[in-house]
Amino acid sequence: MDAALRIGVHQPEEIADAWQRLWRAVPGATPFASPAWLVPWARHYAPGRCRVATLACAGELVGSLPVFWWQGRVLLAGTGPSDHGDALLLPGFEAWAGELLGAALAAIDRPIERIEFHQLAPSSPLMAMPCPVGWSDRVEAGDASLVLPLAGANGMAHVGKRTRRNWRYAMHCVERRGGRLERVADEAVDAAVADLQRLHGLRWAERGETGVLVDPLLQRLLADAAPALAAAGMLRLYRLCAEAQTVAVLFALHGDARTCCYLSGFDPAFASLSPVTALIGATLVEAAREGDAALDFLRGDETYKLGWGATAEPRFRRVFVPA
């Protein structure tokens, strides 16, 4: 190994600042690879079981691989509520992914029956990484991510005429009811996340279902991560207010040239305003204004995503078992 390079293994909180600097420097990094998301995730989903293998060059991080142990498996930190998974490696250091995995495995003092890396993009260094000695591997299809390229006026060049018309009508309805759409200020994030949890429950209760926010772990993750994401400049939280109350909220995260629409909720009593359409359109326009290349609707092939013109980007799962 080059004397200027050093591999280490750390608790997530120990290296959060250097890890965030690395995240900002890696092209195409998704928000789900950021410590602003993963440190809160580790606190709630894998307390005491998450480690970050790191590669440093001249004292600065150039690579990181966060993993955790669960029931005999080693998985990427964030597995579960994260729609994308990956290591972070600066260009030129991608070949070190295998050494990072080896360091992470050596730091886990529990029996390991398999290794699973979920939701990898085709370009992930974890897809190209050689299989560790003593293991065999296979690649399986993951859950595709539905992505809308942003171009043209307001970023809507690839949005169909019908959806653009529906969005303009929704905005007209909001204005006619005296409503307003706004990006939530950092000091109001906690209240807006509480509104999201309430509104998400209302929406799914109307359909006789519970929705994902019935999970107390996810509730605590969003409440904990939102201020950290806001402080890092990565949170895109929008709300729709009407009749002196918050009637819809959309929780989105910002990565490198991409905004990810993560979760929304609205009061069914205000369904005539098409609140989710209004919020998605506002998020799209703001993402285009910021220079983003894409709006990522993440996992799930819901009809409304296809209506916006999103198309599937493949994701993969790489599984390792003892040879």
306 lies in a domain? Answer: no
Range of the domain at 198: 146-299
Q: What is the pLDDT of residues 237-295, one digit of tens each?
A: 999 999 999 999 999 999 999 999 999 999 999 999 999 999 999 999 999 999 999 99
Q: Sorting pLDDT into bands at 50, 70 and 90, what band is 153?
A: confident
Same-domain status, 68 and 128: yes
Our measurement of the distance from residue 310's CA atom to the centroid of its chain's CA atoms, rounded to an integer in Å, reads 17
Same-domain status, 46 and 88: yes
Q: What is the pLDDT of residues 119-144, one digit of tens each?
A: 999 999 999 999 999 999 999 999 99
* Overall pTM > 0.75: yes
Exposed/middle/buried for 132, CB within 10 Å: 0-12, 13-18, 19+? middle
Q: What is the pLDDT of residues 64-105, one digit of tens each?
A: 999 999 999 999 999 999 999 999 999 999 999 999 999 999
305 lies in a domain? Answer: no
- Tally of domains in the chain: 2
Same-domain status, 131 and 197: no
Same-domain status, 135 and 156: no
Same-domain status, 164 and 273: yes
Phi and psi for 37 in degrees, rounded to 5? -95, -40
95 lies in a domain? Answer: yes
Q: What CATH number has the domain bearing residue 178?
A: 3.40.630.30
